[in-house]
A and B are shown apart, each in its own frame.
Chain A
Amino acid sequence: EVRLVESGGGLVQPGGSLRLSCGASGFSFSTYAMSWVRQAPGKGLEWVSAITGSGGTTNHADSVKGRFTISRDNFRNTLFLQMNSLRAEDTAVYYCAKVIDTSRGYRPFDCWGQGTLVTVSS
């Protein structure tokens, strides 16, 4: 069974940092691209960051570019999101998500973690 489990969320002050983790199991982790998607309270889904299976290529939404960094450890089957210079508008549930297959392009997400809540407030 494919499983994704996020951790690392919490309350942080504006300007602070947080590192999210997503532990993966049940599939060949290094084969699949992964993403982080967030959802602000009562709002819609927003794609945040993506990384290829090898970790060699990353991409970030303009709203987080220069502040967030996605990375992965394929030996530990873990995805990370380093979040710096956090703002109130970054408050959201952060989901890690696995793409459906290994085809090239912007593949959809067939598996999502349960999410971890990040609250940015003083």
Chain B
Amino acid sequence: QSVLTQPPSVSGAPGQRVTISCIGGSSNIGAGFDVHWYQQLPGTVPKLLIFDNINRPSGVPDRFSGSKSGTLASLAISGLQAEDEADYYCQSADNNLGSRVFGGGTKLTVL
């Protein structure tokens, strides 16, 4: 059971916009720790998608965007494409644990 809570699954049709939430608490996201997002396509290694809440590494399409407010972080994917079907993980840090933490992951299905 992670201290960062993500919905187990989300879905959307091609072209639609979906959001994935990452709910934390006062010891992690609410304490000011940055949130990062990773995409793991089936059978591949995780790939950094968003870092420091809102920033995209070079090569990541601007269809992907991140936000953070209070104890909640969100990943938005607009113009959904079939190749976006993957598992998505948020990551932050926690004062109580004294370490990095990952959310439980969200499986995105493109209908």
Contact = CB atoms under 8 A, between A and B. Distances in A.
Contact of A106 (B87, B89, B100): B100
Contact of A47 (B33, B87, B101, B104): B101
Contacts of A2: none
B92 A106 contact: yes
Contact of B48 (A61, A100, A105, A113): A100
Given A45-B46, A114-B45, A100 B102 contact: no
B99 A108 contact: no
B51 A47 contact: no
A45 B105 contact: yes
A66 B9 CA distance: 35
B57 interface: yes
B65 interface: no
A46 B102 contact: yes
Given A44-B102, A45-B102, A46-B102, A108 B89 contact: no
9 contacts: A35-B100, A37-B46, A47-B91, A50-B99, A100-B51, A105-B34, A108-B51, A112-B47, A113-B45
Interface of A: 35, 37, 44-47, 50, 59, 61-62, 95, 100, 105-106, 108-110, 112-115
